[in-house]
Structure 1
């Protein structure tokens, strides 16, 4: 695909050698690379085999495609904050990126039943809206309430669902095939990765004390705390590890829809190879911990 070669052609040996010799060069290179990955993901999400899908994708494929589009948009947004040197906002966006990547992979590994369950689990709070309407909640007499109710009914009608079609989901406490996210993560990736990647962003109390100490406070010499409102600097460590989660579902999707060829394989392998090399190069050059609260 010409779009792929146009993006990757600028990564010539001289450019790579210059950038990989200093921390400033690595940052320059990585901003361009991660921006290009966002564009490549956008292009990959738009691919289709017109023999298999002459118009669009069926209800069995569309939930997976929706997750891949979410990944593409999140990577593009991550780059905005990466270039702005704002690690805190990257950390906020990393969570939904990992979620979308892991769930998309899980759905493709587990087939149509998992996709059907995934779709139905998303109606948990929407069914509550219908129950509240039936109980006479005055909210649904307002314009906002009527719009919300119309949206819920429209989606259920599109999928030909009724309120009686969710017995399995209720039995499983509205968890995908009865599994919490950590169980799904462990099946798709490896449980040992969970605490240091997704787990640290998913504490029992959201907006936790540890999160405030990391991002919003500075400890004074007398043990008191003051507000720290500046952004924290971002480096490759905030980008490379989470990007690896998104590569696998794109590989699987492109094979699923019968468009995977040597050109696409080469592009995907190139993304993985450069992402790994960036992390290794940063690790080799990095000399110590920079604390923006102390410098």
Structure 2
């Protein structure tokens, strides 16, 4: 079993953004979308890069397909049709009475697809890898979630109070994001001359802030390349990491979905460790270029956990 299912992730995104059910239309759109994504890591000169040429052409097809949906939904909205509970409905309604053009909405939808595609699911995969290689952490995580499940029964859904009662889970999530941050860094432009130590960044210059370099810096994190979720416990003796742990960026451009991503990771881990056991199907390798991922997507063999026999 592969932890990251490309088509599942994409179709879930389309459902949330535009209420589009899985089907032939979304599968065809995904093929073009994947060609567009491949162009992100190619030479941005169409003459020398067939991948880049294909990506530009594919983006045009993605935009055309999304534009058709946006126009149809706008017509339905103007006729007083039922409003759907998705991102597209919010964009069509506008912000404070100020509406967006179809072109602006499509551009925003494409940006959301790129920003959210496989980021959380890849983090889930990496969490499974790190836990598999750290049995003590996996055992402590399982104990925490077995206790929650025993308290709630077999079928009762998790609630916000349950999420807040997962201290070690939060440590596991933070440590996963620290070691294998999906976004390696962010670009920023200096709005004025900035002096840092003995260096001056002139106004107008663009800077690449490497989040990964900070997260793996032993000056801030002891044994920085070792998966150690206990470092996030308050009594661990680690330094205050408030200003050096930024997996979702910071400031006004901080990822708006950061809290949701952490909740999704916690809920995923809850169901994983309380219902399943697993072993790696084959050897795999963590790579950081062009993005953080497992080379083979970390295939695993899973088994449903047997429920303990009832006491008589």
Q: Please, what TM-score do these two structures have when normalized by structure 2?
A: 0.27
The structure with the greater share of residues assigned to helix is 1
- Ranked by relative contact order (alpha carbons within 8 Å, sequence separation 6 or more), the top structure is 1
Q: Please, what TM-score do these two structures have when normalized by structure 1?
A: 0.28
